[in-house]
Structure 1
């Protein structure tokens, strides 16, 4: 059974894990709400990410899943029966990174998979797939959870303040798994504060300060996506305030994510036009691509900060 699952990255992954856990569960309920028992050996293995019949396909290059990787990890092993569970589940995260050769290689397998095989293709971009792949898959989509629901969940389950929950819900764009990770991670909070210390004064930061700040990011290399998201959300807030300020300033203020930073944002709103804001947002996306392409880490971050400062 091939399933193409489109949606926000972590939402899709978490939903796929939960679905896989139910499929492999030895004591799941079969009437009413179907859910895993959470107690059997299979469920425990799923919790520890070491179930022998759930295979996460890996890839060496950050931006490509090659034909060799698809053949080695799926095509050449799919005929081997499950070790213990009723299903053999393959999960291809970021499946849009499969090149054409890789998609053609997996085509035969998803056309005629063994009865026990379940193949998940997780993606944020349905347009990256060949029509022959799309026509042979069950198509599913996950959507963001409403912000108020995320806030309620975080306040009740994670015992955080309404203010913290509101920020996490907005920053995660309705991704409840990401929101929970944000409020429970001290490392994220440290990274956020470091990045805000740059953004608050980016219009007047000196070149030597930029170099010193960038050195501090070495310990956050594994969270560089969060750095880019913080940078992007900051300038998104500036754009919202700029666009709505003349119409309804209070309404605009309610929409922004960095509500506690409103005074700093407002100063920068007055210094930038929409074209400049759009330019900086484009540079953030470009820097993200450069990091994924293994361009020098320090140089990429320094260039982004310098290019953003130049627009003020």
Structure 2
């Protein structure tokens, strides 16, 4: 588990937590909002470690010592007073789960630490009944209770919950910072770190997934095989290619991101009017594909690029709405090909 100062970026969130410790103004409820992989769990865990640190309680330091029993338990994710709320169904956190893990246990004093901390990841998945169940705890918490609601969408919460929580937002980390971190930690080539940093758009969790996942590498290669020749691909080839995506259904968002980044690169090349073409080349994500991208940028009109980007976003929504998988991908590729 990273120490709070070792977490990349998100300086405002970290400063808020350190100031809260310094001034002894700890809130009973926090909402941390940000994209998946943006560091929400790391921030909540790092702050929890500071709050529960036995050395800090004696010395009033604003950092965790990383050596006491409490810090070691936090590292091992088995601290008895830091509860990671779980849920069985992927799409919902039920009222029963909130009652069992939070409401019915919050009045039990902490076993050893000064605080009893509940961390609810994907908290936007709490249904209305679950939110109403936890609301009373947020409104009238025991002195020692702290609740973290980690979410990608604060709009899913009841207004009564929003009004009673401190809202903190994660922000994208700079590309250079991510490149340096990936290079130092994983000892990868500079161009590989640069691609992951650019593709992730400042999301450190996503950047690490790109580096570590063989599945992502396979998906990227498969998709680039289509994109390089999308302007001349035959209809029968499209159907055959789409069949290969069935094994990557769990990472379909990555497919759409690759598609989107490809045409975003084309848009950058198309819009560049400077005589020095190296400037635009340095800004694109798929630098190794420059020749193919430049060729397609010369063929496409700006309106066509906008149209394709719109179709990519529409296809992503259709997949999330459980529209037929193969048909949605085939239609997207056909619509993109038609614009050349």
* Short-chain TM bin: 0.7 to 0.9
Instruction: Give TM-score scaled by structure 2 length.
Output: 0.77
Instruction: Give ranges in structure 1 of 5+ residues lacking alignment.
Output: none
Contact kept, 8 Å, 2:124 with 2:157, in 1: the verdict is yes
Q: Is the counterpart of residue 4 in structure 1 residue 22 in structure 2?
A: no
Paired residues in the alignment total 310
Name 1:145's counterpart in structure 2: 173
Q: Is the counterpart of residue 60 in structure 1 residue 83 in structure 2?
A: no
1:90 Cα deviation from its structure 2 partner: 2.8
- Quickly say closer, same or farther: Cα 1:144–1:110, change in 2 above 3 A: same
Q: Is the counterpart of residue 168 in structure 1 residue 196 in structure 2?
A: yes
Determine which of 285, 289, 303 is the counterpart of 1:261.
289
In 2, Cα distance between the equivalents of 1:158 and 1:182?
Answer: 12
Instruction: Give the SS at the match of 1:114.
Output: coil
- Quickly say closer, same or farther: Cα 1:117–1:178, change in 2 above 3 A: same
Name 2:300's counterpart in structure 1: 272
Instruction: Give ranges in structure 2 of 5+ residues lacking alignment.
Output: 1-27
1:32 Cα deviation from its structure 2 partner: 5.2
In 1, Cα distance between the equivalents of 2:171 and 2:73?
Answer: 28
Determine which of 303, 306, 323 is the counterpart of 1:295.
323
Determine which of 116, 121, 135 is the counterpart of 1:93.
121
Which residues in structure 2 correspond to 1:11-26 (within 5 Å)? Answer: 11=38, 12-24=40-52
1:311 Cα deviation from its structure 2 partner: 2.5
- For structure 1, which segment, 280-289 or 81-90, has the greater mean C-alpha deviation from structure 2 after superposition? 81-90
- Quickly say closer, same or farther: Cα 1:133–1:193, change in 2 above 3 A: same
Name 2:240's counterpart in structure 1: 212
Contact kept, 8 Å, 2:265 with 2:286, in 1: the verdict is yes
Instruction: Give the SS at the match of 2:37.
Output: helix
- Quickly say closer, same or farther: Cα 1:73–1:276, change in 2 above 3 A: farther
Determine which of 211, 225, 234 is the counterpart of 1:183.
211
